[in-house]
Structure 1
Amino acid sequence: MTLQLQNVILEQIARGEPLKITIGSLCRAVEAIATDAVCSVLAVDEGRLQTLAAPTLPDDFSNAINGLRVGPLVGSCGTAAFLGKPVVVTDIATDPRWRDFRDMASPLGYRACWSSPIIIDEKVVGTFAFYFREQRGPSLREQEIVDASVHLCALAIERDRRVAERERLSYTDWMTGLPNRLRFQQRLSDLTTCANNWGILLLDLDNLKLVNDTFGHTAGDDLIRIVSQRLSAVVGAYDTFRLGGDEFAIVVTGAAETVDLKVPAAEILETLKKAADCAGHVVFPAATIGGSRRDQAASAEGVLKNADVALYHAKDTRRGNFFEYASGLGTAITRRFRAVRDTELALREDRIRAFYQPIVRLDTREVVGFEALCRMQTHSGDIIAAAMFHEATKDAKIASDLTQRMLLQVADDISSWLDEGLPLQHVGINISAVDLHIGNLGERLCDAFAAACPARSHHPRSD
């Protein structure tokens, strides 16, 4: 019969049945074999008892046990868990270990209770107990059943813990210990039905790449861990997620009619900017935050998208600060994305054109030069003014590529005009702040004109 019991429970363990269901099945199967016994299995977590299964015991009795701290005088189970060895109480009414709990057991008619610890890796993780309505100790057969049951409980609990640990690892960022992107997606799904008000903050570290490039990735990893610790200290580890790389998400909840994202964002930025020791180097963490509230979108995914738009805008215009999503911001960002995309395509397909506006002396009305204007030609041949794709020039690479294309075209045009004997004094070209920042504008000018008219003496200037 014991072998049959083992096979049934082992099959449930192998199928991956939830722990409480497996232990409940074990208790019912044992009570069917040992008909005089009432079975109870308790878990021990951080020194406290918690009912795993006790199908025949009244709920009030089990609830009274939950949360009790183990000790030398805490009934049979609490004592067995405390001592790490079996405890046989043949008379609950007189045993001192039941002094504080006999009033719970006696009215139910229980007279004896034997409890055995469930031990995994030399640590007590639970107890298996028999209650009886008569004063007696265990028979040899009953002891065999208890031994087999304790072993099966240990197998079931150990498997449950391995599964729980695998699940924990799958939802945990290995570097910081914070919940990861997968767990954030779960939390986002839970927020869909959340009755309280909430919002999302998305945070990007501004100087992680600089730290990695300057001090090495060990320092960069330290920076990520320190930032994670500081974020958790402000808003709690449960509400802080590392999405990957230098990006974090924070869920802000509240009971008011609306959630004020500015307060936690300001506290986060203030906390982060303190000096940090990263692999022996002093680093001042810097971050940019974008946020959105529940009432600004129809869905949780919409709130996340809005927060992402706000973060993008903040990084572009207010790096190192917080920016909260506002209606219409998404349209502006979309417009910029479209401008960047169209301008990149025009550059690849050689559809950027230089048009010229004459510069006239007011006293003599003489044309003394030209201003080169950047224009985009569509596939249909239409000409688009720079104002229509100006948003694209906020992208540093696009701005630099446009300047280079204009330099080459203007140099070619000037060479043609000179070949035709046209009088020419100067041509102005608009440049961007990026060109000045790069610092090689003079060299680029000379290279462009050297390629366009190598036999001529020319004097390009970057004023």
Structure 2
Amino acid sequence: MQKSNVVVIMKEYASNKRIKDLLKIINPLLTQKEDNIRVHLESLVNNLITEEEYRVIETKMKLGKLCLDLEKIIPYSYATLLFYDKEENKIYHGAAPNIPLHNFEFFNEVNDKQLFHEMICGKAISSGNIVYSEIFSDPNCIHERTISKEQGYKSVWSIPFFQEDTIIGTFAMYQTKRKKPTKKQIFLAKQKVLEYKKEILHLSNNLLSNEV
């Protein structure tokens, strides 16, 4: 049966150990512009991973490249792409090549306890606008501190993206400095995310079309 939502697929594979282990290897290579990763992955199909798992990893790799591209215009920043499930009011990891996967395990508790609305990304999604906060001086950034203590992040801002008028996710920018984005950076980030939207939808639809 075909799945109707890319979030469903991302959710199913969030706890897949083989995918997690491969992403731990692939993400560092991706940040070093190792473009032959796809060749290595193809050799694993029907050997160590299934074709379905391969498609999920390949999609995460391509989404990861969008994160890396966005980081280029925002100094001292590390991007993560999150998908939003409106019906469940939950978020699911899409990509974050420069942030270790285990840092996002706290999302499980956030989702289980329905605390997403308390996070900066939740506020960005509910308002439909970019939201910025300094993590350790903002009493509302309780959950963001989980990831920030280990990685040394000082501030975070969230940029939602849409499908028509529906918010389908957000790019969270974790920064190692307390630095509010300038008007120019906000403009550039919005333009970039608008450019990415078509690619995100294409990748999502391609992943869904292969699900049976």
Normalised to the residue count of structure 1, the TM-score between the two structures is 0.30
Mapped pair 1:80 → 2:120: no
- Pairwise mapping of residues 340-419 of structure 1 onto structure 2 (< 5 A)? none
Mapped pair 1:24 → 2:64: yes
8 A contact 2:80–2:173 mirrored in 1: yes
Structure 1 gap ranges (5+): 1-15, 172-463
8 A contact 1:27–1:39 mirrored in 2: yes
What is the Cα-based RMSD across aligned positions, in Å?
2.7
| 1:162 corresponds to which of 184, 200, 205 | 205
**Residue 96 of structure 1 aligns to a residue in which SS?**
coil
Larger radius of gyration: 1
Q: Deviations over 1:249-283 (max 9, x none)?
A: xxxxxxxxxxxxxxxxxxxxxxxxxxxxxxxxxxx
Cα gap change, 1:163 to 1:103, in 2 (>3 Å): closer
Partner of residue 100, structure 2: 58
AA in 2 matched with 1:86: I
8 A contact 1:42–1:126 mirrored in 2: yes
Mapped pair 1:110 → 2:150: no
The Cα of 1:71 is off from its aligned counterpart by 3.5
| 1:34 corresponds to which of 60, 74, 78 | 74
Mapped pair 1:119 → 2:159: no
Task: Give, in whole Å, the separation in 2 of the partners of 1:165 and 1:22.
Answer: 15
**Residue 68 of structure 1 aligns to a residue in which SS?**
helix
Cα gap change, 1:117 to 1:164, in 2 (>3 Å): same
Partner of residue 180, structure 2: 137
Normalised to the residue count of structure 2, the TM-score between the two structures is 0.61
8 A contact 2:104–2:147 mirrored in 1: no
AA in 2 matched with 1:48: K
**Residue 199 of structure 2 aligns to a residue in which SS?**
helix
- Pairwise mapping of residues 58-457 of structure 1 onto structure 2 (< 5 A)? 58-65=100-107, 68-69=110-111, 71-74=116-119, 76-89=120-133, 91-167=134-210, 171=212
8 A contact 2:156–2:173 mirrored in 1: yes
The Cα of 1:22 is off from its aligned counterpart by 1.9
The Cα of 1:110 is off from its aligned counterpart by 0.9
Q: Which has the higher contact order (CA 8 A, sep 6+)?
A: 2
Task: Give, in whole Å, the separation in 1 of the partners of 2:208 and 2:135.
Answer: 39
Cα gap change, 1:22 to 1:65, in 2 (>3 Å): same
AA in 1 matched with 2:192: S
Structure 2 gap ranges (5+): 1-54
Q: Deviations over 1:318-374 (max 9, x none)?
A: xxxxxxxxxxxxxxxxxxxxxxxxxxxxxxxxxxxxxxxxxxxxxxxxxxxxxxxxx
Cα gap change, 1:71 to 1:62, in 2 (>3 Å): closer
| 2:91 corresponds to which of 49, 62, 66 | 49
Task: Give, in whole Å, the separation in 2 of the partners of 1:88 and 1:52.
Answer: 21
Task: Give, in whole Å, the separation in 1 of the partners of 2:105 and 2:77.
Answer: 20
How many residues are paired up? 152
Cα gap change, 1:19 to 1:97, in 2 (>3 Å): farther
State, as a whole percentage, how many aligned pairs show the same letter: 24
**Residue 179 of structure 2 aligns to a residue in which SS?**
coil
